[in-house]
Amino acid sequence: FEIFNLDMKAGESLKIKGKISEDANGFVVNLGHSSSDLALHFNPRFNESVIVCNSKCSKAWQQEHRDNHFSFSKGSTIKLVIEFLADKFQVKLPDGHEVEFPNRHSYDKITYMGVKGGFRVTSFKL
């Protein structure tokens, strides 16, 4: 699932609803300018019970940020709210916990969204 003409500006929120597959090892939500320039790589991993966040600049990964608050379960239907601020991203998890990740590229606009792995998007709203 990819969108190349997203017009998300700082101060806006993206709501994503979907279902985690029964056999998911994890899934990924990417936001940025392209698949090789990502401001936010949000990656819950079931095998490690951790949420990994990162950014990518010209195809090069930067330093990982790991959050051990893992509230996802296989087979569940969830809603994520990603708030895009000038200095950071705030991702609200299904249980209300928030994961923060800095806006390392200082982007003021997001044009690319990609969702991969064991997650099927049923709706999203900007």
How many other CB atoms sit within 10 Å of the CB of residue 60?
9
Largest CA distance in the chain: 36
- Give me the pLDDT at residue 33, please: 97
- Give me the pLDDT at residue 89, please: 98
Domains delineated in the chain: 1-123 (2.60.120.200)
DSSP track, 81-113: EEEE-SSEEEEE-TTS-EEEEE-TT--SEE-EE
- Give me the pLDDT at residue 120, please: 97
Tens digit of each residue's pLDDT, the chain (126 residues): 999 999 999 999 999 999 999 999 999 999 999 999 999 999 999 999 999 999 999 999 999 999 999 999 999 999 999 999 999 999 999 999 999 999 999 999 999 999 999 999 999 999
